[in-house]
């Protein structure tokens, strides 16, 4: 009976990553937790015997961000041995305070993309991840070898939002398409940006942060 159960688990995970799997800073019930990806016990927990020799990249990022501007970006996962794919990307403030655990700006699915938006349980962080049931096709690109590219959009903080340092966090999955947890590779990357204009900042309590994002 173990094989069917394992297959169902792998199939469910192929639908898309759960929130906070982009190797990003995170809070759970108000406590800081170690960063996570899907490379963990019960998920994609065993690397191939030959090791992992690929990469994940965020393409199209500007040198600095313009307040309120929308950017079309790509995540590219590359691995010569893989034939099924996944990813999760998020963007959070990088101020060294409570805002580090809050999404900066707005993430969205690009037109025609095989992706979906997922949100952390506390509502403070949003992510873009693959969607195997997308109307645009299977977001795991099952059977495609070499690499996979996902497109999404990010609208930079603008108006009354904080315009300070931010970081993109991404985890890319390169799988062997065996519908099991074994033999898969996870790659991570982090890219940080500053606003192009003056930095707008202010001191805030965590209660004020939650109140602002629940409006």
The CA-atom distances, in angstroms, between 115 and each of 20, 60, 131, 167, 181 are 16, 18, 5, 21, 21
Q: Are the beta carbons of 54 and 48 closer than 8 angstroms?
A: no
pLDDT of residue 26: 94
Domain limits at 125? 2-213
pLDDT of residue 65: 98
CB neighbourhood size of 164 (10 A): 18
pLDDT of residue 210: 54
H or E, element range at 208:
helix 206-213
Residues in the chain, pLDDT under 50: 1-13, 212-215
pLDDT of residue 5: 31
The CA-atom distances, in angstroms, between 101 and each of 125, 143, 179, 211 are 7, 36, 33, 14
Q: With H, G, I as helix, E, B as strand and everything else as coil, classify residue 163.
A: strand
Q: What DSSP line would sit under 62-106, residue for residue?
A: -SSB-TT-EEEEEEEEEETT--EEEEEEEEEE-SSSGGGGSB-SE
pLDDT of residue 51: 86
pLDDT of residue 41: 58
| Backbone φ, ψ for residue 124 (5° rounding) | -95, -20
pLDDT of residue 158: 96
Number of domains in the chain: 1
pLDDT of residue 43: 72
Query: CA 48 to CA 170: how far, in whole Å?
Result: 21
Residue 79: CATH number of its domain: 2.60.40.680
| Buried/exposed 49-83: b ≥16 CB within 10 Å, e otherwise | eeebebbbbbeebeeebebeeeeebebbbbbebbb
Instruction: Give CA 26 to chain center in angstroms.
Output: 12
For the stretch 59-78, pLDDT in tens is 999 999 999 999 999 999 99
pLDDT of residue 201: 52
């Amino acid at each position: 009976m173990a094989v069917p159960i394992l297959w169902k688990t792998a199939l469910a995970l192929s639908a898309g990553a759960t929130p906070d799997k982009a190797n990003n800073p995170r809070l759970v019930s108000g406590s800081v937790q170690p960063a996570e990806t899907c490379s963990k016990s019960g998920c994609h927990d065993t690397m191939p015997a030959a090791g992992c020799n690929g990469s994940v990249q965020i393409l199209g990022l500007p040198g600095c961000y313009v307040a309120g501007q929308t950017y079309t970006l790509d995540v590219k996962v590359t691995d010569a041995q893989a034939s099924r794919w996944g990813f999760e990307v998020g963007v959070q403030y990088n101020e060294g305070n409570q805002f580090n655990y809050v999404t900066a700006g707005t993430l969205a699915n690009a037109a025609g993309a095989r992706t979906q938006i997922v949100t952390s349980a506390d509502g403070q962080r949003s992510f873009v991840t693959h969607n195997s049931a997308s109307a645009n096709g299977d977001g795991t690109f099952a059977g495609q070898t070499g690499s996979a590219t996902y497109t999404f959009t990010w609208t930079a903080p603008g108006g009354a939002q904080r315009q300070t340092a931010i970081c993109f966090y991404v985890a890319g999955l390169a799988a062997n398409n065996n519908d099991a947890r074994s033999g898969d590779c996870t790659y991570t990357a982090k890219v940080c940006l500053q606003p192009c204009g003056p930095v707008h900042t202010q001191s805030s309590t965590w209660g004020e942060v939650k109140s602002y994002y629940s409006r």
